[in-house]
Amino acid sequence: MSTSRISLTRYLIEQERIHGTLPPQLRLLLEVVARSCKSISLSVTKGALGDILGATKTENIQGEVQKKLDIIANEVLIEANEWGGHLAAMASEEMDSIHVIPNRYPQGEYLLLFDPLDGSSNIDVNVSIGTIFSVLKKPENTPAVGEADFLQPGSKQVAAGYCVYGPQTTLVLTVGNGVAMFTLDREQGSFVLTQENIQVPEDTQEFAINMSNMRHWAAPVKRYVDECLAGEEGVREKNFNMRWIASMVADVHRILTRGGVFMYPWDKREPNKPGKLRLMYEANPMSWLIEQAGGAATNGQQRILDLQPAGLHERVSVILGSKNEVARVTRYHAEAVK
Ligand code: P6P
C-alpha cells in the first residue's frame, strides 16, 4: 500500500478489509483516541501561553504530584470516549479506580487504559512527552464491569499505541498486524500515514537507562551496562551510545525508528517494587508495539505480555527493544540465579 496521503480512517478501514481484525466499534475507538491526542497536542504546544504548565496540589495513586497537563489530558480522554457506545469502562494512571461508562450512555465491549500524559517531568522544560493507550475486550458475560475485568495479560490486547508530542505529533499504533506511524498534518488537522510495517533492528549500539541509578541496579543490569561502557576494548568489541529522555514515549519512539534497548529495571531503592513503570498502561502497550515491530520485551525473567496482572496500577521491570540485546540482558538475569 503506497503511503501517499492515506488518512488514519482509510488505513483502519483497509486493515479491516485485509485482516478482519478491526470491527467498526474498535475503529471508532481508535479514531476517538486519535482525536483526543490532537486536542492534547494543541494544549501541549501552547505551553506557558495556555496556562498548562506547572503542578496542581493533588497527587495520583502513585503518590506523584499531578501536573496541570496530566489532569487536562485525562479529562480530554474521558470526555471524548464516554459517550460513543464503544467502551464499557476506562482506566488511567491519573485515576485510582476505573471509570465505568455512565448509565446515560450505551456501553460497548472494549476497555480502554491510558497514561494520559507520560513523561510529565518534561512538560515544563519543553521536552517531548506523550499519551500511551491500550485496548482490551471486556470479558464475555460479565454482568457489571469491574476492575477485575481489566486484569488481563498484555497478550490479550486488541489495539495499543501512543502519541508523541515532539517536533512532530506522531501517532503510532498496532492492531496486531504490524506497527504504523501517522504524522499530524496541522493544516488539514488529520493524521497521515507516514510509515508502516516498522521493524526494530535486531542489534543495536544504543542503550537507554537512567545511569544515576547505577549503584542501585541488580548485578545482571550492571554487567550489561558495564560491557556497553567498555566499548570495543571490552567483550562486546563495539562502542555504544547512550540516550535517556526520561519520557518512555520518546525513548520507545527512537527505538522503533532506529533500534536500541530501553531499560527501567528493578533496583534496590524500593526493593518491594518490581520496577517504576506501570504494567497495564505503559509496559504492556509498549511491549506489544515493540514485539509487533520484531523486537522483544521482558521483565528480566519473563515476556512482559505473558505477565498476569494482580492490580490495575502494578509496576514492572522493563527491558525492551532490539531482540538480540533484550535476549542478552535476559540471559544475564538467568545466569545470575544459577
Ligand atoms: P526517571 C516518566 O515519569 C516515566 O514514567 C517514563 O516515561 C520514563 O521513562 C521514566 O518515568 C523516567 O524516570 O526516574 O528517569 O525520571
Atom of ligand 1 nearest to the CA of 244: 15
The pLDDT assigned to 59 comes to 81
> CA triplet 318, 321, 323: central angle to 5 degrees?
115
Whether the CB of 121 sits within 6 Å of ligand 1? yes
Beta strands in the chain (DSSP E): 55-59, 65-67, 87-92, 99-100, 110-118, 129-137, 159-165, 169-174, 179-185, 190-195, 206-208, 241-242, 261-264, 277-278, 296-298, 315-316, 318-321
Is residue 132 within 8 A of residue 115, CB to CB? The reply is yes
Nearest CA to ligand 1 atom 16: 246
pLDDT at 232 over 70: yes
This prediction's pTM: 0.96
Whether the CB of 210 sits within 6 Å of ligand 1? yes
Whether the CB of 62 sits within 6 Å of ligand 1? no
The alpha carbon of 277 and the centre of ligand 1 are apart by a number of angstroms equal to 8
Between 23 and 4, the higher pLDDT residue = 23
CATH 3.30.540.10 domain range(s) in the chain: 8-196
The rounded percent of the chain whose pLDDT value lies above 70 is 99
Fold for domain 8-196? Answer: Fructose-1,6-Bisphosphatase; Chain A, domain 1 (3.30.540)
Whether the CB of 213 sits within 6 Å of ligand 1? no
pLDDT at 306 over 60: yes
- CATH class, domain 206-336, is alpha beta
The alpha carbon of 121 and the centre of ligand 1 are apart by a number of angstroms equal to 8
Is residue 248 within 8 A of residue 283, CB to CB? The reply is no
**Residue 193 Cα to chain centre, angstroms:** 19
Which cell is 84 given?
460513543
Whether the CB of 115 sits within 6 Å of ligand 1? no
CATH 3.40.190.80 domain range(s) in the chain: 206-336
The alpha carbon of 119 and the centre of ligand 1 are apart by a number of angstroms equal to 6
Atom of ligand 1 nearest to the CA of 119: 2
Q: What is the pLDDT of residues 108-136, one digit of tens each?
A: 999 999 999 999 889 889 999 999 999 99
**Residue 274 Cα to chain centre, angstroms:** 18
The pLDDT assigned to 54 comes to 75
The alpha carbon of 247 and the centre of ligand 1 are apart by a number of angstroms equal to 6
**Residue 86 Cα to chain centre, angstroms:** 21
In whole angstroms, what is the distance from residue 260 CA to residue 205 CA?
7
146 in the Ramachandran plot: left (φ > 0), alpha (ψ -120 to 50) or beta?
Answer: beta
